[in-house]
Each structure stands twice: as structure tokens, then as C-alpha cells.
Amino acid sequence: MTAEPKKSSARGELTALVAGGAGFIGSYLCEALLTQGYRVYCLDNLTSGSKENIKDLLTKQNFHFVEADITTNVDVLAGFGVLDVVFHLAALEEGATSDLSLETLLVNSAGTRNLLELAKKFKSKFILVSSGEIYQGSFSSNNFKNFFGGAGQEATLTQHEAKRFAEALTVEYFKKYQLPASIVRVSDVYGPRMNLKTNSDLARLIQAAQEKEKLVIKGDGLATLNPTYITDAVFGILKAAQGNYPGEIFNVISSEKTTLTGLAETLRLVAGDLEIVHEDSASKIDFPPSPLDLESTRERLKWTSKVSLAEGLSSTVQTSSQGVPAKMVDLAPETKVSETKEERRVSHQSRNYLRVAIFCVSLLLIVFTTLIPLGSFIFQERLAVDKLSSAYTNLEADKREEAALLADSAQKTNQSSQKSLNNVRWLFQIFGQRGALRADEQLLFGSENTIVGVRLLAQVEKAIVEAAAESDKEAATSHLREAKQYLDEASQNLDLAGANLEAINKKSLTAFLGSSLDKLRQIDEKAAKNALSTSTSLAATLEKIEAASTAP
């Protein structure tokens, strides 16, 4: 049954549509978008997605689930209203199943066209999340029976060809209609909530490790893959959406390559002493390596994976694939709109008096409904950035507690600034200043991410100091691992902030905010360098500890 979208009297946030939002990757993307302050419409026909993946989101104010099929329910798509960005993840995870070949082709042809038309209608950004394996298709040269190869290869190769067509369609809309579209390719994405009931080697081996069963490797075990942890993949998708990258393709894929044998060995390391068994498999598809260009994505998108294979597999194996609680906090502000009515009695002594009274009242209304909220937005955002600057200065001076308190205060002020902007959003729309509104919102999002990043860096330093003070080696190591988790999250927030801030056109910002943008960029750059330096030294320390613990 389709849930009706909740109606809002005022459009107070950027709005995103996530097709395939109840799937593994889509559900995490919905969480991240809510954290960034978006109003999110999650569209899914629940063929491969599940409401279980989004159960913690269904009660959130800015989340709306719509059960519909993008290949046929065109009327549903037309009723969403203005959309800022459309994410297409539908059928992304269906290639591993054996009975969805026709639906996969339809979703990536008719469904992709419907979503592209929707994005064209609203002049929305369009992000196609595709597969890094699209180069691996093969074709029959003489009949339809095994068009995509052997019978056991149909489902996998159908998905590759379907995604290749979806990419071609997206490119044509970009060329013909100047649609601001980008393509993000992902591969071997894994993590809590992933579907383990698929035919992929990655899912099959992770499930075996969870259930403490033998790790069965089909074939010689030399096939390579690039497992990418779910949070890394989602941050890459977000960076592509929140930057200015029309017509570009990004491979958001971890550079940490492993073989099936290497994967099994890592799983044995994190899950316990499991037996590894090799089995011959005559039907195994032996693909050549995909020609992935990961370096250009690193340079242009400023994205790299943060979670190592060992860390990611440990988190995935130790967590049930169902019912994983969301770790992201919904920071989207709730705007309450109150309407007041004032009755006035006007004397009829003279027409001039009436005109003067109307003019004065109108002037007061303009002041209270526009100038004061607009001034409040500018003042509060400048104040939030100043507080953040003081927080980072204290952090550099090793005043961790002061830095954390100032960062918390900066976050509250930044959220108040967001509410003030929401109150005058209509003013930007009336005067056709959508570009200024988008720039101001990007500044707020960039500020929020930078604040969170600096706050986490303070927690990193606190954990490191606590580790140094510990006499117990295990307790000290625990503090260092905690610091590593904080550091990874800080780096992701700072990277995302950097992409947001870099994409802002300074001239489009509301008056008096240009200097705040410059200051934010400087803070984010310094904090990101700090995070990178700390990450390098912390990783080296943990490596030495691991080596010492495993030494005979």
C-alpha cells in the first residue's frame, strides 16, 4: 500500500527524491540526506528493498516513503512538487538475483527515462548510481537463448547491460537538455544491513563468517574485487550531488583491492579461526579486471575511502544484517508556522489618515517578516562561523574542552540561522533568487559539517590523551581505536564540507556572508590537514600494536 506524502505548508529544506531508497545503499543515503537537512522522498516498489531498512526513518518529520514502481507510476512522480536533486538507485542491487532480469531492464530503461523527465521538469540535479562492473558484459553472436552468456550468468550480465543503457540515456539527456546530471559508479559495497541472500561471493562469504561456517571459495580464488564500505560509498554519492559536477562520471570505489582468497583470510582474522575450503566451479564467470580510473575521482571529487577492509568486515560480521539502528542524527530543523490575525478599527475621519495607517502597518509587516529574519540569519551565521573559528583556535592550543563547548555553541547558532533562513525562503522565491538561496543553504550545510568535524577532532584528541594516561595496554588500545573511529567520521564530515564550500559561488551569497565563506574554507582546510596527519600517525601506532600482539 502506498503511503501518501505528508504535506507541508512551506518548503523549508532542500528536497531530494531517492528512487530505490529502501534498498541497502538507498536507505543509508536517505539517512545521510536527513542528516544534511534535506526533505527526503523515498520511492521503492519493495521488490528487492525492504521497509526493515528504513523502519527508523518512517517517523521522522522530513522523511516520506512512497511505495511505487518508477516504470509505471508516472503520476506518482509528477506529484512530488519541486525537487532539488533526484537520486536513481532503483535496481542497483538486483543483479545478484536470478529472476529479475526483465524487471532490471525495464527499471533501467523506462524507469530511468521517467526519472530523467522528472529531473528535467524541475531542473533538478540528477545522480545516477551505477555499477563499476558495466564493462563486464558479454554477448551471444548467434541466438537469443544465451544472449548474455551461459545460463548461470544471465542475471549478473543483464544488470551490467541495463546499467550501461541507463548511463547512455543519462548522457543523452545531459547533451540534449543540458540536464545537470552526474554518474556515480560503485562496486562491491558492503556493511550492516546488506542483503546476504544473494549470489555474490562477497555476500556469501560474509554470511558464512557470521554463521561461523566454512568459507567456501569457488574457483582458484584469484578473482579480484574492491570492497567498499557503505559509509564511504554514501559519502562519495553525497559529494557528487552537493558539488558542481554536471556531465562527470565518478568511480566511488575503494582502492584497496583483494582476491577472494585474501577476502576469506581477512574474514577468518576478524571472525575467528574458520576453515577455508576451495571448490572447483566450471560455471564460474571469469571476468577480466574492469578498467576503473580511481585516481581521477580522487583528484576531482576529493574522495577516498576511509574504512579499511579489516575494519569494515569486522563491523559487518559482528552486526546483524537486519534491524541495525541508524547512527546518523536528523539535524533537519522543524519549522513551526503560526498564523496570527489582527483586527483593526480604522477611523473614517479622512482618507489620508487611512492611507498613512495602511502604509505604516505594511512597513511594519515588511520589517518583521523580512528584514528582521533576514538580518537574524546573516548575524547568526556570521556568529556561528566566529564561534567555530574560536573553537578551532582552542583545539590548536590543546584546549580540548573549550573547543568542544565552542563547537556545540556554534552548532546551535548555525541551526538557529537555518530557521531564520526558512522564514524568508518565500522572499528568495518571489524575487527569483533561487541561486542565492541555494548558495546560502550550501553555506549552512558546509558550516554544519565543519562544526561536526572540529567537534569530533576534539574527541579524537581526548581519546588519545586518555590512551597515553592508561597503564593497561588493552585499555590504551581501546582508547586509540575509539579515536580512530572518531577520526574517520571527522574526516568524512570535513571532506563533505570541503566539497560543499568549494562549490559555492561567492557572488551568489547574501550580503555580508562572503567573509564567512572565506573563513569557513580556511578552517575546513586546516582541520582536514590536521585529520589527515593524525590519521597517518594513529594508523602507524595501531599497526605497531597489532604487530606486537601477533608476534610469537
- Can you say whether residue 302 is alpha, beta or left, with left for phi > 0 and alpha for psi between -120 and 50 degrees? left
Q: Which helix (H) or strand (E) holds 184?
A: strand 181-186
- Res 4 pLDDT > 50: no
Taking only the tens place, the pLDDT of each residue in 184-239 is: 999 999 999 998 887 789 999 999 999 999 999 988 888 889 999 999 999 999 99
Rounded distance, CA 33 to CA 84, Å?
Answer: 12
The predicted structure's pLDDT at residue 441: 84
Nine-digit cell string for 339: 498564523
The predicted structure's pLDDT at residue 23: 94
**Contact of 492 with 306, CB cutoff 8 Å:** yes
- Res 453 pLDDT > 80: yes
| Lowest mean per-residue pLDDT among 94-98, 109-113, 119-123, 355-359 | 94-98
| Lowest mean per-residue pLDDT among 29-38, 77-86, 457-466 | 77-86
Q: Residue 459: phi, psi to the nearest 5?
A: -70, -35
The predicted structure's pLDDT at residue 273: 81
- Res 413 pLDDT > 60: yes
Residue with cell 561456517: 213
- Res 250 pLDDT > 90: yes
**Contact of 27 with 48, CB cutoff 8 Å:** no
Rounded distance, CA 424 to CA 421, Å?
Answer: 5
Average pLDDT estimate for 31-36:
91
DSSP assignment letter at 45: -
Mean pLDDT estimate for the chain: 80
Rounded distance, CA 433 to CA 151, Å?
Answer: 56
Taking only the tens place, the pLDDT of each residue in 524-551 is: 999 999 998 998 888 888 888 777 766 6
The predicted structure's pLDDT at residue 260: 93
Residue, of 285 and 122, whose pLDDT is higher = 122
The predicted structure's pLDDT at residue 338: 33
Residue, of 306 and 161, whose pLDDT is higher = 306
* CATH 3.40.50.720 assigned to 15-318: yes
The predicted structure's pLDDT at residue 90: 84
3-state secondary structure of 50: coil
Q: With bands split at pLDDT 50, 70 and 90, how would you rate the model's confidence at 476?
A: confident
Residue, of 31 and 151, whose pLDDT is higher = 31
Residue, of 301 and 143, whose pLDDT is higher = 301
CB-side neighbour CA atoms (13 Å) of 548? 9
**Contact of 268 with 215, CB cutoff 8 Å:** yes
Q: With bands split at pLDDT 50, 70 and 90, how would you rate the model's confidence at 19?
A: very high
- Res 279 pLDDT > 70: yes
Nine-digit cell string for 327: 547512527
Sequence-distant (6+) residues with CB within 8 A of 93 are 20, 23, 24, 25, 48, 195, 198
Residue with cell 541466438: 143
Rounded distance, CA 213 to CA 316, Å?
Answer: 16
Q: Of all residues in the chain, what percent carry a pLDDT higher than 70? A: 75
3-state secondary structure of 522: helix
- Res 386 pLDDT > 70: yes
Of the segments 28-32, 101-105, 131-135, which one has the largest average pLDDT value?
28-32
Average pLDDT estimate for 368-394:
84
* Helix segments in 250-399, DSSP class H: 260-271, 294-301, 309-318, 351-366, 372-396
Domain residue extents for the chain? 15-318, 351-550
Average pLDDT estimate for 111-132:
91
Average pLDDT estimate for 375-381:
87
Q: Which helix (H) or strand (E) holds 126?
A: strand 125-131
The predicted structure's pLDDT at residue 107: 58
Residue, of 503 and 253, whose pLDDT is higher = 253
Burial per residue of 414-424, b for 16 or more beta-carbon CB atoms within 10 angstroms, e otherwise: bbbbbbbbbbb
Q: With bands split at pLDDT 50, 70 and 90, how would you rate the model's confidence at 291?
A: low
| Lowest mean per-residue pLDDT among 17-21, 193-197, 318-322 | 318-322
The predicted structure's pLDDT at residue 455: 92
119: exposed, middle or buried (C-beta count within 10 Å: 0-12, 13-18, 19+)? buried
The predicted structure's pLDDT at residue 496: 87
